[in-house]
Amino acid sequence: MASRLNPYIQFDGSARAALEFYREVFGGELTVSTFGEFGSGHGPGDDNLLMHGQLETPSGFTLMAADTPEGMPYNPGDNVAVSLSGDDAEDLRGWFAKLSDGGTVTVPLEKQMWGDEFGMVTDKFGIGWMANIAGS
């Protein structure tokens, strides 16, 4: 896999239902991971919430989503980001750095508990971006 760009939608507890609905609409394969699987929820009700869900459709669409854990803000209207992901670490790090110029890094691009490098930035135009470098 090189790199991909796709929407990433944040939900307030309904990510699984939304992704299952989108699977009915577009078809495809859905994979999900819960906060409980990684022991990373912020509150007692977070274990069954989606930490990450991904729908790959036969038409080549990729849609990613997650639930907002307890204690983190959920702001409808600000709940969609653009995701950059893949295994081309040099390109992904470069894009993240360029998007950060004049913006605000909210999660530094660094190794995470799931084994990938991940970071989040809001660019100078107010657009949220996520970068995930596979297995780095």
Domains and CATH numbers, the chain: 3-133 (3.10.180.10)
Is the pLDDT score of 84 beyond 80? yes
pTM for the whole structure = 0.74
pLDDT given for residue 71 in this prediction: 86
Tokens of 87: 């295994």
Which of 109, 88, 86 has its CA nearest to residue 98? 109
Q: Are 48 and 16 in contact (CB under 8 A)?
A: no
Q: Are 11 and 79 in contact (CB under 8 A)?
A: yes
Measured distance CA(125)–CA(90) in Å, rounded: 24
Q: Would you say the C-alpha torsion 113, 120, 53, 75 has a positive or negative sign? A: positive
- Mean of the per-residue pLDDT values for the chain? 90
